Amino acid sequence: MKLGERSYLFKNPAHIVCGYTIVGPKEGEGNFGTEFDYVLTDDLWGEKSYELSECKIHRETIKGALKKAGMQDSELGLMLAGDLLNEIVASSFAAREFQSAFLGLYNACATFGEALLIGSMLISAGFVNNCSCSTSSHFSSAERQYRYPLELGTQRTPTSQWTVTGAGCTILSTVAPEGREFDVQITGGTMGRVVDMGVDDETNMGAAMAPAAADTLITHFRETGRAPSYYDAIYTGDLGKYGMKLVKYICEDEGMTLPPNYHDCGAMYYTDKQKTEQGGSGAGCSSTAFNAHILRKLQRGELKRVLLVPTGALLSRDTPLQKQTIPGIAHAVSIEVF
């Protein structure tokens, strides 16, 4: 059912079968450390380059999710996947080993939200029976693509964030998984629009993405008629600690107060000792945090209604050099337990 311009609620919600995550060693030492399915001891994972390592992480995450779901490759109708590498090679190279249809997605770090939205729509409409939604990022491949060589001795600015090494995969289905007390469903969502408030500092992604996150949140609550208190918890993707503050500021300015159970996956990701400044970021940030931490809470019934809002900054390495400001995007996915 369409609500307003960009929101909708499903008559036939998509069921979440399971989630699976693989992360790097630093992420394993972070706040979600005990909740990941597999923590690597070496972020190269026996590969020759970090790009190939990210590809392997992505591939093995999808395989792990399928195994956990008790599903064969042939039963999976569609793979929705994305990452941050140029031409999203981590996803498409990972897809080489599967027989399923593949739709490659890119919305920067909001790709996981995009995948969940499209996946749940296709399942709700009956176009596919099962699909996987996965995203990955790798600190070392992102650093070389967007910033500087790893060994270059530069200082990190206090507004910077740390790209998460890892991949998360969620399996969606038309039928509820058997033998579970709680059935987790994607019940609706709000598609984000590109918002650019003129932030041009690529070391301050939180400030670039916060207006998009606020826009999506405000639109979601207005169009669905739900109040922020409808949800047990609201999670944005990777705004970081400072980005969270900005979202609260914008929402307050627009007359909407975010409840105390508003969190940010990036801000929660690492411990203070890990020196990541504002917290985690990257396409793997919200996908690993969701599948390891949030989904488990939903499956245990500790949370009943969650709004997940992955956020992305849509820039390339060259656009800031060409004096372009940084557009942001955020998608809201409503996840409820029945």
Partner 1 sequence: MEKERYLEYVKQTSPKTSMVRSLFLSFVVGGLICCIGQFIADMIKLAVPNISKEMLSSATSIILIFLGSFFTGVGLYDKLGYYAGGGSIIPITGFANSIVSPAMEYNREGVVFGVCAKMFTIAGPIIVFGIVASVIVGLVGMFFV
Binding site for partner 1 (CB under 8 A): 48-49, 144, 148-159, 197-199, 204, 207, 211, 242, 245-246, 249-250, 253-254, 278
Shortest CB 157 distance to partner 1, Å: 6
Token representation of residue 274: 């890990």
**Could you tell me if 95 and 89 are in contact, meaning their C-beta atoms sit under 8 angstroms apart?**
no
Cβ-based nearer residue to partner 1, 72 or 271 = 271
The DSSP result for 175-230, as a single string, is: SPPTT-SS-EEEEEEE----B------TT-HHHHHHHHHHHHHHHHHHHH---GGG
Shortest CB 256 distance to partner 1, Å: 12
Shortest CB 29 distance to partner 1, Å: 17
Task: Write the CA distances from 111 to 61, 91, 163, integer angstroms.
Answer: 16, 12, 15
Cβ-based nearer residue to partner 1, 15 or 26 = 26
Which pairing describes strands 78-83 and 130-137: parallel, antiparallel, or unpaired?
Answer: parallel
How would you label 280-301 residue by residue, b for 16+ Cβ within 10 Å and e otherwise?
Answer: bbbbbbbbbbbbbbbbebbbee
Cβ-based nearer residue to partner 1, 17 or 314 = 314
Look at the block and give the residue holding tokens 């990022």.
137
Task: Write the CA distances from 243 to 68, 177, 248, 298, integer angstroms.
Answer: 35, 36, 9, 25
Shortest CB 248 distance to partner 1, Å: 12
Cβ-based nearer residue to partner 1, 61 or 278 = 278
Between CA 312 and CA 270 the distance in angstroms is 19
Which helix or strand (DSSP H or E) is residue 235 part of? strand 233-236
Backbone angles phi, psi at 119, to 5 degrees: -60, -45
Cβ-based nearer residue to partner 1, 215 or 336 = 215
CB-count exposure of residue 201 (10 Å: 0-12, 13-18, 19+):
middle
Dihedral, 315, 56, 81, 302 alpha carbons, nearest 10: -100
Chain centre to alpha carbon of residue 239: 11
Token representation of residue 97: 């080993």
Shortest CB 15 distance to partner 1, Å: 38
Cβ-based nearer residue to partner 1, 128 or 197 = 197
Shortest CB 84 distance to partner 1, Å: 17
Cβ-based nearer residue to partner 1, 237 or 243 = 243
Shortest CB 255 distance to partner 1, Å: 11
Shortest CB 103 distance to partner 1, Å: 29
Cβ-based nearer residue to partner 1, 37 or 51 = 51
